Structure 1
């Protein structure tokens, strides 16, 4: 994680430093050019001012006065006639001869720039015309040593250099706090995932922000909770399998030993053999349901959907269970409109409904009522199994689909079952893309409703 913080820091620094350098370059260039342009404009304005005075009073005295004024300033002036002959100069003209070029074309009254290459030339220069009675009479050449411009730019460079260093230092400080702020929660998440990998699922992460890092912290906590639940469920599952397998095996082994080692009357022998057969069947049923669950978990079974007429489908199931209804004197009622069609796997749907009806029969008293109902609701088909049996305590309802879970904690053998039926039902319902809901009250009854999306119409 330290490597990540270093990488992030370097990446942020390069990006921010590149942006700062880019902006500083163009800002410096713009300010420097602006300042040089201001110097040239000021120099040209000064020349235009002298030109305006000389146009009003063009004489030797006025020329000498202008020259005297410039001799005490940072700039220099040279006044020539229209042919280029020097009439007056504030400094030795030898230094300015290369700039004293008479233009071949007329010059604007606002003046023009003669030299603006401040980087390589010793002077910048402007020229302003002097007109007397509407006729060109002379020129005013203004000069400024570029050393002053260089000094101005150097001062600007110093300011930018200082600002650059301050920006770099602040950037480094910000990046250090920023990279630590990002990597600190990641480091805690890494420690949490390390604990999870060692089987320690009681992890807690501070969720200080409502962003992607906060979402990741929530996801890790949720993962730890789910893994802890799965671990507990696996332990309970293994304990339940152990219990469920041991019980019938104990009965089989015990009664088989009795039958084998003792000389029993035929009636008692028949009784023990019947128990052995019952427990063998129970064991076979348990292994079958475990095998079904294994196939569901591995997605190794396929749902083959067909168009099913629920009225006819339920009638066949009623015939299969008629003996069970008669034995327990159950009042069974089937409510299903004609031509109620559904897309489902007939074998799996039968397995679902049989499981639900079997549970209703087991947990209902003699003379109870069981209702199997189906109806259409917009674009879905609803199937409901309703009984007025023992019901399920409210706190137990979310748990009834867990494997080997039984509301009857005593695991009484009189009720039979393996505790896997509803777990298989839920998996098969979800494999159909359907939903299952439970509504139950203790000592009142239970209703389990299946909702299949997308009805099929003829």
Structure 2
């Protein structure tokens, strides 16, 4: 089954059709529209107010004056009918005139004015009555008017004609049938047209100032409204580019504030989701890469095993057939039997090493670490090779640092040291020498195994750690090497987090590795 790796980097974000929004365009659009709408609303409102006042102020003034005067007359008539005390009546007249800014006169059934003394100067009162008499006389010259007023039993109001610069008056009459009298009230009308003209001129200057204030306030208001919207759009645009660093710093207790909080919440959740997706994708890549490496290792393993086992199997098969056919006799027969046994041991060693290497390279191998003295391990391991050193007449020099404690896997480190020493023995000629040295390096200890002999070419320095790589295949086979010893060493040291390597020296070749001290 093939696993297809869908990686986040394969998704071209630029190809996703995010609708890009021009911030400058939005800025101009929203601010301008809001400014125009706000300004127009204020202008229409003020213009309408001024126009209504200019057109209907006069009519409103007349209507209001008429209603107030008639209502006042009705109230006065009710109070007037309840008393006969002239002093009380005089107070009622005074209150009415002060309240309505009007002059009052009462006519009896004969059409004569009924003089009612009002507190104050008699001369002033006489002038008041004469003025009222003159106005009312013009209005009541027709007797039918008096008859109509009495018949209606409700206030009747008229306006005098305007002649030149004369002041116009509003006259209101209400019959008092209980006393067979008519109550008149006269009030002068202010020159509304003149006042209206002044008001219009005032409105002109007011309108100019108002327009200026409207423009300023509309700009301020539109900026106050659009600023958080632009910030929201900026954050949303950053989110569209998968940049979640931008946050909306809008602290408002309204819909815009709620929207900002929601956008921040969305940004945080998207960031977490994408981070989780990236981590999952990275893990998937690692798993697939690991699977590929294992598959490659399996193929290389099978190919290498086939190649390595081909020669010993051929030898064993050929010699076994010869022995079966009695081709060999005597000492020759014993020799070939020994060859078969030797090749069988080599095959067993090779299979054991390959299984060991397979475990180490699987990625699932667990070290069994413990604290121990590395110098003791070196001494114990080296003693096993004493006979070999004597057989090849190899001089062995040791430089130990006593009581150097490390935290590592004892058996695997023994395997590392054994491989290095075995490798050194194979490449050291008779009468050569091997030097094992320990050196302190801050929190680590450096261990090196150096042997005399030929140097390794620079091209092969890195290759010697690969599986089944042999510098001198014929010589290695003769000495019994499997070709995967250094590959096993490399994997063990990598699991320990050790630094390791090889370098040429004046005498030969030096292998080294480090371990962390306790």
TM-score range, shorter chain: 0.5 to 0.7
Aligned residues: 304
What are the within-5 Å matches in structure 2 for residues 142-157 of structure 1? Answer: 142=203
Distance apart, 1:378 and its partner CA: 0.9
Hey, what's the Cα distance between the residues in 2 that align with 1:228 and 1:410?
33
Partner in structure 1 of residue 375 of structure 2: 311
Query: What root-mean-square deviation, in Å, do the aligned CA atoms of Structure 1 and Structure 2 show?
Result: 4.7
Hey, what's the Cα distance between the residues in 1 that align with 2:11 and 2:366?
48
| Higher percent of residues as helix | 2
Partner in structure 2 of residue 248 of structure 1: 312
Partner in structure 2 of residue 286 of structure 1: 350
Distance apart, 1:95 and its partner CA: 9.6
Unaligned 5+ segments in structure 2 are: 1-5, 65-196, 216-236, 242-286
SS at match of 1:249: helix
1:8 equivalent in alignment to 2:16? yes
Partner in structure 2 of residue 449 of structure 1: 512
1:271 equivalent in alignment to 2:271? no
SS at match of 1:274: helix
Hey, what's the Cα distance between the residues in 2 that align with 1:306 and 1:285?
27
Partner in structure 2 of residue 172 of structure 1: none
Distance apart, 1:35 and its partner CA: 6.5
1:302 equivalent in alignment to 2:366? yes
The partner residue of 2:29 within 13, 24, 29 is: 24
Deviation string 1:73-116 (CA, Å, 9 cap, x unpaired) is xx9798xxxxxxxxxx7xxx3599679999xxxxxxxxxxxxxx
SS at match of 2:478: coil
Hey, what's the Cα distance between the residues in 1 that align with 2:406 and 2:58?
105
Partner in structure 2 of residue 352 of structure 1: 416
Deviation string 1:13-62 (CA, Å, 9 cap, x unpaired) is 4xx28996687334411344356668999x8xxxxxxxxxxxxxxxxxxx
Going from structure 1 to structure 2, the CA distance change for 1:98 and 1:307 (only over 3 Å counts) comes to farther
Q: TM-score, normalized by length of structure 2? A: 0.50
Going from structure 1 to structure 2, the CA distance change for 1:99 and 1:265 (only over 3 Å counts) comes to farther
Going from structure 1 to structure 2, the CA distance change for 1:98 and 1:392 (only over 3 Å counts) comes to farther
The partner residue of 1:320 within 384, 401, 404 is: 384
1:432 equivalent in alignment to 2:432? no
Distance apart, 1:229 and its partner CA: 9.4
Going from structure 1 to structure 2, the CA distance change for 1:23 and 1:240 (only over 3 Å counts) comes to same
Deviation string 1:114-158 (CA, Å, 9 cap, x unpaired) is xxxxxxxxxxxxxxxxxxxxxxx963363899xxx9xxx9xxxxx
Distance apart, 1:327 and its partner CA: 1.0
Hey, what's the Cα distance between the residues in 1 that align with 2:470 and 2:290?
22
1:364 equivalent in alignment to 2:424? no
1:379 equivalent in alignment to 2:440? no
Going from structure 1 to structure 2, the CA distance change for 1:378 and 1:289 (only over 3 Å counts) comes to same
SS at match of 1:413: helix
Contact conserved, 1:289 with 1:420, CA < 8 A, in 2? Answer: yes
Contact conserved, 2:470 with 2:476, CA < 8 A, in 1? Answer: no
What are the within-5 Å matches in structure 2 for residues 77-92 of structure 1? Answer: none
Contact conserved, 1:237 with 1:404, CA < 8 A, in 2? Answer: no
The partner residue of 1:329 within 379, 384, 393 is: 393
SS at match of 2:448: strand
**Larger CA Rg, structure 1 vs 2:** 2
SS at match of 1:142: helix
Hey, what's the Cα distance between the residues in 1 that align with 2:373 and 2:63?
109
1:391 equivalent in alignment to 2:396? no
| Higher percent of residues as strand | 1
SS at match of 2:465: coil
Contact conserved, 1:372 with 1:386, CA < 8 A, in 2? Answer: yes
